[in-house]
């Protein structure tokens, strides 16, 4: 009986070892899956940040090279439609933000959208799964610039000569364009005086929003 029992225990030991080894491998594999998920999450975060940075850069420079005093109603309508937006410097900003998140980026501008694909510099790392040390996180994100405002009906931001004895609309000398009035989302009214433009970047941020697409 003792001999038979010892023989049974001896036969069961290899099975036990195999079972424990399998459980350990499964546990390590589960950890690797978690590491891969974290790497992928890092990549998505980098892609989101880079795409938003590119779109925000284009939005903030919406009035680059323009003189508000010379803009007509047609010019303002084109600006609000996004026809005057340019991608200059936007993809460089995407590269910068990707690098800040330890990733490299490929930027595709298609005004008013910017699509950015990123690859993490880091990898999943060494693990029980062969090749994991060469797996990088990859993700893509698209950000879009959207107009928040339209010209208020009846607004005529066009230089209108007036007699010197009569103050022109909006103040200033004859030929000075009147203030430009906008109607924005949420029923917000916005008035812009071309003679006192202030920060055109801040104006652009009021006129346009930037968001990630689904």
Average pLDDT over residues 160-172: 45
SS (H, E, C) the chain: CHHHHHHHHHHHHHHHHHHHHHHHHHHHHHHHHHHHHHHHHHHHHHHHHHHHHHHHHHHHCCCCCCCHHHCCHHHHHHHHHCCCCCCCCHHHHHHHHHHHCCEEEEEEEECCEEEEEEEEEEECCCCCCCCHHHCEEEEEEEEEEEECEEECCCCCCCCCCCCCCCCCCCCCCCCCCCCEEEEEHHHEEEEECCCCCCCHHHHHHHHEEEEECC
Mean pLDDT score, 183-197:
92
Tokens encoding 66: 């323009």
Q: What is the mean pLDDT of residues 4-12?
A: 53
Q: Look at residue 108 and tell me whether its pLDDT is greater than 70.
A: yes
Residue 189 has what pLDDT?
93
Mean pLDDT over residues 22-29, rounded? Answer: 45
Calpha distance 36→122 (Å, rounded)? 11
Q: Which residue has the higher pLDDT, 38 or 35?
A: 38
pLDDT of res. 25 = 44
Q: What percentage of the chain carries pLDDT values higher than 70? A: 64
Calculate the average pLDDT of the chain.
78
pLDDT at 164: 45
Q: How far is CA 79 from the centre of its chain?
A: 21
pLDDT tens digit string along 119-160? Answer: 988 775 544 444 445 577 889 999 999 999 999 876 555 554
pTM as predicted: 0.72
Q: What does the longest C-alpha to C-alpha distance in the chain come to?
A: 125
Judge whether 73 and 157 are in contact, CB under 8 Å. Answer: yes
Q: 26-40, 67-81, 189-203: which has the minimum mean pLDDT?
A: 26-40
Residue with tokens 């029923």: 187
Strand 113-123 with 136-147, pairing: antiparallel
Structural tokens at position 12: 């069961």
Provide the pLDDT for residue 161. Answer: 47
Whether pLDDT at 32 is above 80 = no
Predicted confidence band at 43 (pLDDT cuts at 50, 70, 90)? Answer: confident
Distance CA 184, CA 205 (A): 12
Q: Model confidence over 71-105: pLDDT tens digits? A: 999 999 999 999 999 999 999 999 999 999 889 99
Who's near 56: CB < 8 A, 6+ residues apart?
A: 93, 143, 210
Mean pLDDT confidence for 50-74: 95
């Amino acid at each position: 009986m003792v001999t038979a029992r010892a023989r049974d225990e001896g036969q069961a030991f290899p099975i036990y070892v195999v079972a424990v080894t399998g459980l350990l491998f499964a546990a390590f594999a589960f950890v690797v899956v978690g590491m891969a998920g974290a790497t992928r999450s890092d990549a998505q975060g980098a892609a989101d940040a880079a795409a938003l940075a590119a779109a925000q850069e284009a939005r903030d420079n919406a009035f680059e090279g323009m003189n508000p005093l010379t803009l007509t109603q047609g010019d303002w309508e084109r600006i609000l439609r996004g026809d005057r937006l340019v991608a200059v410097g936007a993809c460089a900003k995407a590269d910068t933000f990707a690098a800040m998140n330890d990733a490299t980026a490929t930027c595709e501008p298609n005004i008013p959208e910017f699509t950015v694909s990123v690859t993490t510099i880091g990898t999943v790392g060494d693990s029980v799964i062969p090749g994991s040390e060469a797996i990088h996180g990859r993700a893509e994100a698209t950000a879009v610039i959207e107009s928040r405002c339209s010209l208020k009906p009846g607004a005529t931001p066009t230089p209108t000569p007036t007699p010197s004895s009569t103050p022109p609309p909006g103040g200033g000398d004859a030929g000075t364009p009147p203030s430009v009035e906008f109607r924005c989302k949420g029923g917000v009214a916005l008035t812009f005086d071309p003679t006192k433009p202030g920060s055109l970047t801040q104006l652009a941020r009021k006129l346009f929003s930037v968001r990630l697409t689904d």
